[in-house]
Structure 1
């Protein structure tokens, strides 16, 4: 009977060892799967973060492009409006009308709020970047702007129209 018990115990031990080995192999396999799944999670997380960053960059770029497009449209509109402003200023020289003056001043204020800046060149040194010399006249100093025939304007720190001026020449 002891022999039977030993055989039974041996079989139980072998079965136990085999079960333990199977469990150990399954555990190792599951741990490898966990490691692989963690790698995949990290990879997907990185791809997700990159996609979010790419989207945010796209949103910023589209916003910047939209802003630049609006500025360009404003600039083009201002360039087209300048001859009308010139005509208002010429009319003001010949017609002494308070309504015309108020209208021109209001119109000029709107243009300033839109970003239009009139260049103040009177009595300054002539610079061909900002002005075009239409005439040269005798003067006390050399190369000074003595009269502005047509005003120059800037928009967003860029010249949209150079002034037309008379420049002095010392004699």
Structure 2
């Protein structure tokens, strides 16, 4: 009697366990979904529309990056140009004044070449010479240099040829005469020398 009862209990346990196993297998095989959830596995992958939208966003981002890099380069160029302009402005700050003074220097030089025969005029010329030298010294301090011409090879950057001639004392393409002095301000020609060149 006891054995039969034990067997019955074992069968019930087995049956109960079997039901649990079956339920568990069902739960694994057919999971329960909430309402609104899709049962399709393809939804995890982006659709063509989503891929297109993603590509458009990537393109826009790349375009914005390129625009930013171009703007950065433009700004760097602008800063460099501004700095160079300021340096040039400082370096050649006196150019306008010097250019305006050059005709006065020419007039001083012409006046001092005049032949004089009385002491009063000689005294006046000495005073003009002192003023002239003062001007030349001030210009030299600002970086003004005289362009060498006579006896030098003609250089179109430094000389302006207004005549040609033939002179056996000079070689070909050599400056033989200077009609007006030329000047440099530091490394910039502010007035080329007006010259005669040997053929």
Give the TM-score category using the shorter length: 0.5 to 0.7
What do you get for the CA RMSD once the two structures are aligned? 2.4
Equivalence map 1:3-152=2 (5 Å): 66-94=86-114, 97-140=125-168, 141-152=171-182
What TM-score does the superposition give when structure 1 sets the normalisation length? 0.57
How many residues are treated as equivalent by the alignment? 111
CA-to-aligned-CA distance 1:135-161 (integer Å, 9 cap, x gap): 112212211111111111111211111
Name the one with the larger strand percent: 1
CA apart distance, 1:62: 8.3
For 2:163 and 2:85, the matched residues in 1 are separated by 42
For 1:142 and 1:67, the matched residues in 2 are separated by 40
Query: Structure 2: 5+ residue runs without aligned partners?
Result: 1-78, 116-121
Bigger Rg, which one:
2
Query: Structure 1: 5+ residue runs without aligned partners?
Result: 1-57
Name the one with the larger helix percent: 1
Q: Is it true that 1:154 corresponds to 2:184 in the alignment?
A: yes
Question: Could you tell which deviates more after superposition, 87-96 or 145-154?
Answer: 87-96
Which portions of structure 1, spanning 4 or more consecutive aligned residues, are displaced by more than 3 angstroms?
61-68
What TM-score does the superposition give when structure 2 sets the normalisation length? 0.50
